[in-house]
Amino acid sequence: MSSHDVVIAGVGIHPFGRFDGKSAVDFGRDAVTQALKDAGIEYKDVEAAYCACMYASATTGSRVLYNLGMTSIPIADVEAACASGGVAIRQAYMAVASGMYDCVLAFGTEKMPKGFMDPSQIFDKWQIDMGLTQNPAYWAMLARRHMEEHGTTPIQLAKVSVKNHRNAMNNPNAMFHTPFTIEEVLNAKMVCDPFTVYMLAAPNEGAAAAVVCSRKFAKEHGVRKPVTILSSVHRTTMHPWFRGPAYSWSTREDNPPLTVIAAKEAYERAGVGPKDLSVLEVQDTDCFSEIMFTEQLGLCPVGEGGKLVDEGVTEMTGRTPVNTTGGILSCGEPVGASHLRQVHELVLQLRGDAGVRQVKGAKVALGHVFGAGGNCAITILKR
């Protein structure tokens, strides 16, 4: 089977936010049930499943799917911090591309605690004691370095927040729907210079799912609008810039950034390039990250991500819209579900089913996530 004969037959989502009285299992069941209905298949047609989660307890995937039936299929939980959903999609993609299975579920579900993520899940005690293990600290340093080297401005950062919160007004599955002006973003409570509270994402709760299958299976089951997976990539870091203090300083600082490495593989496997992309969902746990990652994904040269924002290229009406859902800034980040949310949106865009968020004529789409431990995942889809 050609790797390009793997498609997404259906997608589902549980809204992102805070939901007292509902568990990660509840969220996951809702998203999976939607995805199966969207694909027009039954759970008995599924041959394997991968559940992305980080904070959920052991055997979360099994507990989600036992609500739908105990069919003895292999069910595995996978975790790669913010890139967990990308790994679930990749495992499903490889399972189908190899010919082992015809129909596989990939889903992510999470119920995150409020506040900053617990650094003890990621770092050793000595690293925590040295500092720099809370997310906004190292994000802020990356932003300040970019501002110093390339002239990126606080206004450009604020414009990303304004754009994404405006996009979220048309996304019922986002956590936040309030638009902001540039002045409101800049004058909000400072969290970690240069980031104000409206420039940072919040951990939260939610789930999303996708049915991944062979093109042959989709045709046999009358799938309405299958979307082709052109490539699904997961890479881990080659140098220590992404976090500090690092385990080792022996890695080379001049190695390419991880997203550059992952994007190169993703583009080569997909047979497309940055200029072919119609719409992107990109990691924006802070507003600078969107600027940095659009550069590293090849939308513009390094140092010109702020210019891309100023020129409106990444707006809904721009040449290459980015984060039409409102991104992580507006949707929040239940980490296991985050990339599956991106995939949900991109499938809708490529089908022409995104409603008021629809990017006209969308043909090729890219989802990108980047997380702790130096995990980056990229999925490229085609109509």
- Half-sphere exposure (CA, 13 Å, Cβ side) for 282? 26
Q: Give residue 97's identity as a one-letter amino acid code.
A: A
Of the candidates 180, 156, 178, the one whose C-alpha atom is nearest the C-alpha of residue 169 is 178
* Residue 11 counted as domain residue: yes
In this structure, what DSSP letter does residue 17 have? E
Q: In this predicted structure, what is the pLDDT of residue 55?
A: 87
HEC profile of 159-187: HHHHHHHHHHCCCCCCCCCCCCCHHHHHC
Q: Is the dihedral of CA 161, 207, 77, 58 positive or negative?
A: positive
Per residue in 249-308, pLDDT tens?
A: 555 566 788 999 999 999 999 999 999 999 999 999 999 999 999 999 999 999 999 999
Q: What is the pLDDT of residue 1?
A: 59
Interhelix angle 135-150/287-296, nearest 10 degrees: 60
CA distances from 151 to 146, 196, 300, 354, 368 (A): 7, 19, 15, 36, 25
pTM of the entire predicted model: 0.95
Structural domain includes residue 190: no
> Has residue 110 been placed in a domain?
yes
Are β-strands 48-52 and 190-192 bridged in parallel, bridged antiparallel, or unpaired?
unpaired
Count of helix runs (H) and strand runs (E) in the chain: 13, 11
Residues 111, 14: contact at Cβ < 8 Å?
A: no
**CATH code of the domain containing 57:** 3.40.47.10
363 in a structural domain: yes
Q: With H, G, I as helix, E, B as strand and everything else as coil, classify residue 226.
A: coil
> Which regions of the chain are under pLDDT 70?
1-3, 238-254
Residue 256 gets which letter from DSSP? Answer: P
Q: Is 226 buried (19+), middle (13-18) or exposed (0-12) by CB count in 10 A?
A: buried
Specify whether the CB–CB gap between 230 and 382 falls below 8 A: yes
Would residue 241 count as lying in a domain? yes
Q: What is the structure's pLDDT at 274?
A: 98
Q: Per the domain annotation, does 157 fall within a domain?
A: no
> What CA–CA distance (Å, rounded) separates 310 from 209?
34
- Would residue 151 count as lying in a domain? no
Strand duo 364-371 + 279-281: pairing: parallel
194 found inside a domain: no
Structural domain count, the chain: 1
Whole-angstrom Cα distance, residue 199 to residue 182?
A: 11
Residues serving a catalytic function are: 82
154 pairs with which residues across the strands?
none
Give Cβ neighbours of residue 194 (< 8 Å, ≥ 6 apart).
140, 143, 144, 147, 154, 157, 288
Q: What is the pLDDT of residue 129?
A: 83
Residue whose tokens read 């870091």 = 237
Neighbouring residues of 97: CB distance < 8 A, sequence distance ≥ 6: 1, 3, 5, 6
What is the pLDDT, as a whole number, of residue 248?
59
Omega cis (within 30) before 245: yes
Contact indicator for 31, 58 with CB cutoff of 8 Å: no
- The H or E element that residue 365 is part of is strand 364-371
